[in-house]
Structure 1
Amino acid sequence: MDYNAAFAGMKVIDLSGGVAGPSCAMMLAQHGADVIKVETPHNGGDWSRILGRTYQDHSAFSLYGTLGKRSLALDLKTPQGKEILWRLVRGADVFIEGFRPGTIQRYGFGYDAVSATEPGIIYYSISGFGQTGPLAARPAMDPVLQAFTGIVTENKGERDGHPHRVAISLIDMFSGLLGFQAIATSLYARREQAVKQGRFIELSLMQGGAMLSVIRMIAHYLERGTTVRTSMPNGVFDTADGQINVTMIRPGDWRPFCEAIEETGLLEDPRFATHAARGVNLDELYVVLRPMFKARTTAWLADRLSANGIMNGRVNSYQEFLQEEQVAATGIMSWLEQPGVAELVPMPNIPGLPAFESGTRRAHAPGLGEHSSDVLKEHGYSATEIAALFQDKVVGGR
């Protein structure tokens, strides 16, 4: 077994769409599995391909979610499409679906049916609210679950006090990693079995959101919503030329903080003299601190705070982050060529794996149906049969 391709030789059928399911399957592909992404040949394929600005067959979402996979554009509403999928199921190790609960069963590919054909298969279902319960059939995406699980209430705007969703696909991405770990550990357990036994794994975005926010959830529940502020002061402060985040969690940080910003007079102010006093008068403290920060540059503050052991970070745009010397020094990013994209695409390298290289399978995001012919040929279809399937629009792409 190669550390760089732990799942080499394994076949994964990925019927999921959006972010959570595809990102999970993408991780399997990055670790060596042959991931066949099955998506409709109609309306642009997986809907993640058309979210936001598009670049031929891709958006930013699908450039990440399809990386390292092969794409088969297949109409599962046709008898021929279903027969093709059954051929793919035979010999598969993992089956991933992300339809609304009940939909995959109507197509005829529920766990009972698939496991009857391939008993050793690891079958993974990802949904919004779960497979059962009063909300199971409700449509859901990341913003909906951020609101439902309580995360939005934690992200109140400083000026308007109104709850806001976190702009990134927070729950989707975390759920993708949860799904990957569940599948990976299942494959690890299965490898020692004389007779391979599969299993059904279920994950919902609701569960992903709960796990993501578990510490704050516990604190809020035990303290009935009146959680103790653990970092005083902390947050984002405007500076003379930008913004900086400051995080303090120990009472002993107060003196070195005041010394760092050259405001030791605060140490004598009875409103802020003790950790408890600062907690009571925190709003007043922010009123005092903000003009002090505004009078200094970000670099001056960062240097002084860091020298005194106070955690801080310049507030960057994504473009500024990508240009940071620390990013280049640690090699955490690769810049990839992708068809249809006029410039190089920044892609974080995956821990434990080699850096991405343009032109390799791992670093390629396939177009819709890019591998349809290849996949069909590998599964026993002749050139004549493949041509007919294209002609009848059962498959798409090339």
Structure 2
Amino acid sequence: RPDIVYCSISAYGQLGEWSGRGAYDHVVQALTGMMMMSGDSADAPPLKVGFPVIDVAAGMLGALSVVSALFRRMHDGQGARIDTSMVQASLMLMYPNASTFLTHQVEPQRVGNRGYTGSPTADTYRCADGWLATAANTPAQFRKLTRVLGMEALCEDGEALDLAAFNAPGGGFVVARDLEGVRRRFREAFATRSAADMEAQLNAVGVAAARVRRLGEFLAEIDGGQQLPLPYRSYGEAGRGGTRTPGLGFRFLGESMDRPEGAPSLGEHNQALLAELQAGAAEAATMPVVATTLT
């Protein structure tokens, strides 16, 4: 069957001296440098991402590769034997940083909770009732932010900002001459304000901002509301091992993606599949449901 598509997802791939090694998510984070991407300073201890991001990304990379191979098969009739790995998934997630190092041999800097543009107001601030992330990267966004905070004079302060870059035609990012001084002013301004109020006010004028939430808090806030309708999906029966999910991560606009029948249960299609494979009806009827457990 030259048209069959196989996909292998392993820790290190099928080639090379490390191909026989096993790994888990945090081990690959350590190996590939991901643990040294988080944190506020170069000498901060390693810090892993707070969920198994590489496990998820490896599955998505495998799915994308299979779909690509199936699309190619429509044109040439050929299958594929796909080799992807957790290491490749990690590097894909860090693609800009990995490419920068491969091209210029420049190690990425650890920026903590700050944005990657280097703008002084792409940052996360402690407010009176929580934390707030902002992204006032451009001069136009910076002006809006200072207007909301009553700090407009900062936009004319040549000791604090590079005014030539700030007023240059065509925009760009805000560049600070006194980076720590500018950050301190904004930390002080936000410290007495409500994160929830600031989120609403800044988004209303076109400055991206979000109050820091826990996952459960965020999901409870948007569930059933109109702020951010998600394509939720439920599988199985509630109270009997059923699962509710946030969906597939995408939708086809104008089309329903509902499957009323839900996902099949373990072994549900055994007989139909065995019959399709020309197994005898009697043999198919006696086939047990097989489950495997990782040990």
TM-score by length of 2: 0.75
Helix, strand or coil at the partner of 2:75 = coil
1:165 aligned to 35, 48, 59, which one? 48
Check whether the contact 2:231–2:251 (CA below 8 A) recurs between aligned residues.
no
Check whether the contact 2:101–2:107 (CA below 8 A) recurs between aligned residues.
yes
Q: What is the CA distance between 1:148 and its match in structure 2?
A: 2.1
Q: What is the CA distance between 1:302 and its match in structure 2?
A: 1.8
Q: State how many pairs are aligned.
A: 269
In 1: Cα distance, 2:270 partner to 2:86 partner: 30
Corresponding residue of 1:351: 251
2:195 aligned to 298, 305, 313, which one? 298
Helix, strand or coil at the partner of 2:209 = strand
In 1: Cα distance, 2:7 partner to 2:28 partner: 20
2:64 aligned to 176, 181, 189, which one? 181
Helix, strand or coil at the partner of 1:134 = coil
Specify which structure has the bigger relative contact order, considering alpha-carbon pairs within 8 angstroms and separated by 6 or more residues. Answer: 1
Identify unmatched segments of 5+ residues in structure 2: 110-115, 166-173
Corresponding residue of 1:336: 234
Q: Does 1:321 align with 2:218?
A: yes
1:236 aligned to 124, 130, 142, which one? 124
Q: What is the CA distance between 1:268 and its match in structure 2?
A: 5.5
Corresponding residue of 1:262: 150
In 1: Cα distance, 2:108 partner to 2:268 partner: 54
1:174-202 deviations in Å (ceiling 9; x for gaps): 33333223222222222234xx3222221
1:41-65 deviations in Å (ceiling 9; x for gaps): xxxxxxxxxxxxxxxxxxxxxxxxx
Give runs of aligned pairs for residues 52-67 of structure 1, distance below 5 A.
none
Q: What is the CA distance between 1:215 and its match in structure 2?
A: 1.0
Q: Structure 1 residues 284 and 278, CA, compared in 2 at 3 Å: closer, same or farther?
A: farther
Check whether the contact 2:35–2:47 (CA below 8 A) recurs between aligned residues.
yes
Identify unmatched segments of 5+ residues in structure 1: 1-117
In 1: Cα distance, 2:81 partner to 2:233 partner: 37
In 2: Cα distance, 1:290 partner to 1:365 partner: 52
In 1: Cα distance, 2:219 partner to 2:108 partner: 38
Identity, % of aligned positions: 25
Query: How much is the aligned-residue C-alpha RMSD, in angstroms?
Result: 3.3
1:346-374 deviations in Å (ceiling 9; x for gaps): 322442263435x41xx32634x444444
Q: Structure 1 residues 187 and 296, CA, compared in 2 at 3 Å: closer, same or farther?
A: same
Q: What is the CA distance between 1:121 and its match in structure 2?
A: 0.9
Corresponding residue of 2:162: 274
Q: Which amino acid aligns with 2:6?
A: Y
Check whether the contact 2:199–2:211 (CA below 8 A) recurs between aligned residues.
yes
Q: Structure 1 residues 280 and 326, CA, compared in 2 at 3 Å: closer, same or farther?
A: farther
